[in-house]
Structure 1
Amino acid sequence: MKVLSSEPENIFIDGIGAVSPAGWGVLPLREALAKGEPLPAKELARPGWTRPLRVRSVPPPSPRPDFMTHPRLRRTSPITQYAVAAALEALGDDAARVRNGSLRLGIVLCVMTGCVNYSRRFYDETLKDPATASPLVFPETVFNAPASHLAALLGATALNYTLLGDPGTFLQGLALAADWLLSRRVDGCLVAGAEEIDWLTADAYRLFARKIILSDGAGAIYLRRQSHTAPSVRLHCISEPHLFSSKKQRAHAAQRMRAELPAGNPGHLLCDGIQNLPNMDAQEQEAWQDWPGARLSPRAILGEGLAAASAWQCVAAIDALRQRQHPAASMSVVGCNEQAIGAHFVIS
C-alpha cells in the first residue's frame, strides 16, 4: 500500500469534473446520487435484432460547450468530448496556466473499451467495402486519441499516458499521478477515466452479465502537491492492486484490498462499486460487510461506466468531503476481470 501522509508526500485534490448519464458537470452527478434512484435506461438499437439493448447514456449538453468548436475536436467521438469536458471542469483557472506554459501538467487517461465508436465504424466500412473505408477515421480508433486531443487543446507538453485495463485502472492512474508529483516531474496532474457507449460493447458485456446496464461519460481529478481549495482534501493512501482470474480469487483479492485500507468509523463514507446485482456484487459486499459508516454506490444509479464509473466514484467521494458531509472517504473498486484496488481520502 502506498501511504501519502507525511508532510513532504502530501497530495491534494485541487479540482474534480464529471460527465455522466446525470448530465454535464459535478452538480448533476451530485443531485442524481442524492436522490438515490437509478436513472432510467434508454434503448439502443443493435443491427440484426428487433429487440434493443438497454443503456444509460450521457444526455446532449445544453448549451453546447465552447470547446467543441476547436478545430482539433471536429471529428472526435463522444469519449474525447466527455474527457475534455470533465478535465476542463477539474482544472478550472489552471487551464490558462497550462496554455501559457507556467504550469507543467501531466495527463493520465484511463479506459477499458476506449474509442469503440470509430473502431466499429472503421472495421465495418473495411469489411463492407475496403475502398470506402475512410483513413480519416483511423486515428480516432487508437486508445490514446482522447489524451492526445486534450493535450493539444490545452497546449500541454509534459507527460501524457493512457492506461488500459479494467475499472480498477483509474486508481492505478491516481497512483501514477502521485508518483509524478512527488518526483517533481510535473506541477499538477490530471487523471481522467472515460468511456463511450456503442452497441458493440453493450452487446459484448451482455454475454457475460445480462442484467448489467452499461453507461458512458467521464470523470476527472486534478492533483497538486499544495492545496488551493477549502476544505483541503488529501489523497491519504492507495492499496496495492490485487489481481485475480476467477470468482474465488476475486473474493480473496477484494478482501486483501479491504485489509489494506483504514477500518473506518461511523462518520466515514464508503464509495463502492455495488450495482444491486447479487452475482456481480457478492465478493465486494463480503469484503466490506464490517464497514461501520455511510455507503454510496454510484454504479447502482448511473450504470456500469467501466473506467468512467470508477472516476465517478472518486469524484463523488471527494465532493462529499468538500461538502463537509464526512471527514474521510474510502473508495472500493473490485474490477470485472483484473484487479481489486482501493483508496482513502481525508480532509486535512
Structure 2
Amino acid sequence: MTDVPDPAVGVVIAAVGAITPHGGSAEALWEGVRAGQVAIAPVRRLPMDQYQTSVGGEVTEPCKPGYDYAPGSDTRDLSLDFALTAAEEAMASSGLRVGADIPAERWGVAYATCHAGWRSAELALRQVQEGHAPDWHRYTYVPPHAGAEVLSAAFGLKGPALSVNTACASSAHALAHALEVIRSGAADAMLVGGSDAFTESAFAGFSSLWSLSPEPAAPYSKDRCGLSLGEGSGMLLLLSRQTAERTGAPVIAELLGYGLSADGYHPTAPHPEGEGAARAIRAALASSGLVPDDIRYVNGHGTGTPKNDSAESNAVRAALGAAAERTALSSTKSMIGHLLGAAGAVEGIVTVLALRDQVAPPTATCAGLDPQCGLDPVAGTGRPMVLDTALSNNFGFAGANATLAFARPGGPGAPASGIGPDEIVVTGFGVITSAGEGAEALWDAYAGGRRQGVAEDGLRLARAEFDRSAAGTARERRRMDKVSQLAVASCRAALAAAGADGDEAAVAATGVVLGTGIGPMESSERFTVPVLSEGARAANPGVFPNTVFNGAAGHVAMALGTKGPTSTLTSGHAAGAAALGVAYDMLRAGRAERLLVPAVEAFSPAVLEAYRSIPLFGSAAGRRYTLAEAGIALVLERRSSAQRRGAPIHAVVLGHASASDACGIGRWDPSGDGVERAMRAALDRTGLRPHDISALWANAAGLAAADRPEQAAAERVFDLDRVRFETPKRVLGEPIGAGAHLSAVLAVGAWRQAGTRRPVLINSSSLGGTHTSLVLSPAPLPVTESGR
C-alpha cells in the first residue's frame, strides 16, 4: 500500500488570520493580548437582561467577507462571515496562489465549530413561532459542515474537506486531523480553523448551569466565579515543510503533534484530578518528541470556572511533573472570553505568535492566585521569555480533551516515529436501522429488496426502533437523547462482537471517533424552542449538555469506559465516511490501537421541516428519496492488536481519499469531477486498479442532482459491465451520515453470501459536494475454509 503516514513530514504554519473582540486581524488580536487588554464588555447585539451576566467578548469590527455563499438570498450567518473574514486574512498573508503555487486538488479545509449556524436556526424557529415561513437558506447554514464547504468554495480548494465538532475543543481537533491529512500525503496544504457567534441558546444554557461570571472572567484566581463567552474566528494555514520550502512560503512556527483523550467522567465537568487532560498532554509530548523540561509555556484552557481551572492545573502537574513548577500557564480567555469552537484555533494563533515574538501571553484579570491552581499565570501583561516550544490546551463538554504542541521554526522536538505500519481491520459491528437490530437483519432487508420507510407529510422516512435497554438503565437513558442512545447501544454491540467488551483494559484504551450529520438536533430543538418563546428562565440545564455534537461520543465514553482518543466528525451526509477516514489515519499513525467508529442519526421535527422546505427535496424527489435513522458502529483496529486478542477480522480497510467540488453549500459539480477524483485517489493510495474492484457501493440515494454526477464518474473510472454498481440507499434509505457504515456492513454480508472475495469501493458524499471513497478488502479466509 502507498498510504503509510510519514511522521517525518514536518508541518508548518505559514499564515494566520483572525477576527475577535480585539479586532479584525490576527495582529490586532496579538497586540491586545500581549498588552493584557480586556475586551470583555457589555454585549450589544443580543438582549441580555435574563442571563447571569450582561458581558461577553463581542466582535464589534465590521465583518463583510467577499464571498456570497447564498446567491439570491439576503440572509447571512455571522459564524460563516467570521470564518470567511479570518480565512481571507490567512490566505492573503501567505502570498500563495491556489492552482499556481499549490494545486487546488492538493489544498484542503478542516473547519471546526461548536454551535455552527445555530443563530440562523434561532431566527428561523422564531419566525415559525410567529407564523412566518423562514427563508429556507437559513436551514442550510445550520450544519457544521456548511462552514467547510463555504471555505472550500470561496477559495477554490478541492482537496479533503472536514468539519469537526467537539464542543470547546473543536478547532484543536481540526488542527490535529489536518496534521494527519498532510502527513498521510493526502494534501500539501490545509486551511484550518474555527468559528462561533453568539447565540441566545448559549447564554441561556451556560446561565442555566450557573457557569457565567457577572464580570470579565478571572481564570486561576481565588475569587473566580465563572466564564465569559466570546465569539469570532481564527484560521491557520498549514503546509508540509517540503511545500513551504518549494513555494518560499513564510514559516511562523511548526505544529509538532497533538494528544486527544476522553474523560469518560461527566457531561460538563472535568475529572477533578485532570486525569483525562493529563493523558492528552502526555500524548502531545510523546507524538512531538518532547519531554516535560522542553515546555516553559502552556496556553491554558483556563475558563475561569472553579472546577475547570483547578482540574487543568492538576493535569499539567501530573503530565509535566517537577517541570510544571517552572512552567507558565496562562489563559487568553481572560481577555477575549471563551470562543467555544473557535477557541483552539484562536488560542493556537496566540501561542504561535508568542513563539514568534518570545513573549508569554498573560492572564490579564488574574488577581490573587488560587492555591489549588498554583502555577504561574503570567498575571497582568505579557512577559518576555525564551520560548522554543509551547503547548495549547482545549477541553470540551462530554470530556473531549485536546493538547497541541508547537515549536518555533527550527526549535527542538520532532514528530515521533510511531509504532510502525500495520493493516487496519474491522473486528466488530453494531447495527441498528429501520430493518431491525444486527447485521443479518440489514442484509436480509437489502437482499430481499424490502424498501424501508413510509410517507410522512411530504417526506419518506425510515425510523429506527430498538431495545433501548441496550443503551443503559432507565435512569441512565434519561440523560440521553435518541442519537446518544443509538450511539451507546450500537457501540456496546460492536465491542461485544469484537470480543473486547469483557476486557476492561482493552476497553479503557479504546477511543471513539463518531460521525453525525444531524447530530443533537432533538436536544437542541428541545432546549431552544422554550427559550425563544419564554426566555432564559425556560432553559433546561439537564438538556443543554446534549446540544453539543460530541455529546453522543461522550455518552459512549461514560457508559462503556472508553478513554482513548475521541473526536466527532460532522461532514453532513458524508460524516460517517469522514470519521472512518480520520480513524484510519490515527490508527496508521499509531495514535491508538483500537477505535470505535459509530455513525448515528435521529430525526427531530425541525430537522424534518428543514428538509421539506429546501427545494432539493421537493415532492418528486421526496417520493424517490427516503431519509433514515440509524446507529451503526464499526470497531477499527490495528491488525497486530486484533491478533494479540484473537479477535475476529471481518474486513481490511485498505485506504481512503477525499475531494471537494468546491461549489458551495448544497451544490455539486454536475460533471462528477470531485467524486471521480476521490475514487481514483482511493485506488491510487491503495495500489489497486479499477479492474481489481468487484463492486462499487454507491452514494446514490434517489436525488438526481447527486446521483447523476456519481453515475457519470463511475462510468469513467470503471467498466460497469464487470463491476457491480450497488445502490443500497435506494432500498434502505439515506441514513444521513451513516451511509458509508451501511455499505461497509452490506459489503461484508455480500462476501459471505455471494463468495466473491475481492476488494470493494464505497462512496459517500455530502449534499455540498464533499466526497469520500473507502476501499475495503475481505479478510483472508482461515486455512480450514480456504483449503490451503
RMSD: 2.6
Shift of 1:203: 2.1
Of 475, 488, 494 in structure 2, the residue corresponding to residue 84 of structure 1 is 488
CA distance in 2 between counterparts of 1:149 and 1:250 reads 41
The letter of the residue matching 1:11 is I
Moved more, 17-26 or 235-244: 235-244
Q: Secondary structure in 2 aligned to 1:94?
A: coil
Does 2:777 correspond to 1:346? Answer: yes
Query: 1:269 & 1:221 partners in 2: Cα distance?
Result: 20
Q: Give the aligned residue type for 1:75.
A: R
3-state SS, counterpart of residue 756 of structure 2: coil
Note the 1:195-274 alignment, pairs <5 A.
195-206=601-612, 207=614, 208-210=616-618, 211=622, 212-226=625-639, 227=642, 228=646, 232-245=650-663, 246-248=667-669, 251-260=672-681, 261=683, 262-265=688-691, 268-274=694-700
How many angstroms does 1:120 deviate by? 0.8
- Please report how far the alpha carbon of residue 3 of structure 1 lies from its aligned counterpart in structure 2 after TM superposition: 3.4
Matches of 1:250 and 1:77 in 2, distance apart?
Answer: 40
Structure 1: how far apart are the matches of 2:652 and 2:772? Answer: 18
What's the counterpart of residue 416 of structure 2?
none
TM-score normalized by the length of structure 1: 0.87
Q: Give yes or no for contact 1:166–1:338 (8 Å, CA) kept in 2.
A: no
Q: In structure 1, what is the Cα distance between the partners aligned to 2:541 and 2:477?
A: 17
The answer for the alignment partner of 1:306 in structure 2 is 736
- Residue 264 to residue 166, structure 1, CA distance change in 2 (3 Å): same
Deviates more, 1:81-90 or 1:312-321: 312-321
Q: Deviations over 1:29-52 (max 9, x none)?
A: 111111123213153xxxxxxx56
- How much does 1:160 deviate? 0.8
Distance (whole Å) between structure 1 residues aligned to residue 581 and residue 2 of structure 2? 8
Q: What is the aligned partner in structure 1 of residue 765 from structure 2?
A: 334
Contact 1:237 1:345 in 2 (8 A): yes
Task: Give the match's secondary structure for 2:572.
Answer: coil
How far, CA to CA, are the matches of 1:8 and 1:323 in structure 2?
32
Instruction: Check the 8 A contact 1:111/1:194 in 2, yes or no.
Output: yes
- Residue aligning to 1:279: 705
Query: How big is each residue's C-alpha offset from its partner over 1:126-169, in whole Å with a ceiling of 9 and x where there is no partner?
Result: 12212233221111111011000000111111111011112223
For residue 540 of structure 2, give the secondary structure of its aligned residue in structure 1.
Answer: coil
Deviation (angstroms), 1:12: 0.9
Residue 91 (structure 1) shift: 1.3
Structure 1 residues 202, 110: closer, same or farther in 2, change over 3 A? same
- Shift in Å, 1:180: 2.4
Q: Distance in 1 between matches of 2:480 and 2:589?
A: 33
Compare CA radii of gyration and give the structure with the larger one: 2
Contact 2:516 2:601 in 1 (8 A): yes
**Matching residue's letter, 2:673:** H
Q: CA shift at 1:205, angstroms?
A: 2.0
Q: Which runs of 5+ in 1 are unaligned?
A: 44-50
Bigger mean CA deviation after superposition, 65-74 or 186-195: 65-74
Per the TM alignment, residue 80 of structure 1 is displaced from its structure 2 partner at its CA by 0.9
Residue type of the alignment partner of 1:73: R
Q: Which amino acid aligns with 1:197?
A: F
The 2-side partners of 1:150 and 1:343 are apart by 25
CA distance in structure 2 between the aligned counterparts of 1:318 and 1:83, rounded to whole angstroms: 21
User: Matched residues in 1 for 2:2 and 2:478: separation?
Assistant: 41
In 1, Cα distance between equivalents of 2:482 and 2:565: 24
Q: Which residue of 2 aligns with 1:12?
A: 425
TM-score, normalised to structure 2's length? Answer: 0.40
Structure 1 stretches (4+) deviating beyond 6 angstroms? none
> SS in structure 1 opposite 2:421?
helix
How does 1:19-34 map onto structure 2 within 5 Å?
19-34=432-447
| Higher RCO, Cα 8 Å, sep 6+ | 1
Q: Is the 8 A contact 2:571 2:766 kept in 1?
A: no
Task: Give the counterpart letter for 1:315 in structure 2.
Answer: V
Report the alpha carbon displacement of residue 101 of structure 1 after superposing the two structures with TM: 5.5
Aligned length: 337
1:127/1:105 CA distance change after superposition, 3 Å? same
Q: Is the 8 A contact 1:118 1:138 kept in 2?
A: yes
Deviates most, 228-237 or 133-142: 228-237
Equivalent-residue separation in structure 1 for 2:661 and 2:637 (angstroms): 29
Residue 89 of structure 1 and its aligned partner are, at CA, apart by: 1.8
Report the residue type matching 2:705 in the other structure: N
Structure 2 unaligned residues grouped into runs of 5+: 6-419, 781-788
| Letter of the structure 1 residue corresponding to residue 633 of structure 2 | A
> For each residue in 1:242-271, what CA deviation from the matched residue of structure 2 results, as whole angstroms up to 9, or x when unmatched?
343243267210111222224444971221
Out of 554, 565, 579, the residue aligned to residue 173 of structure 1 is 579
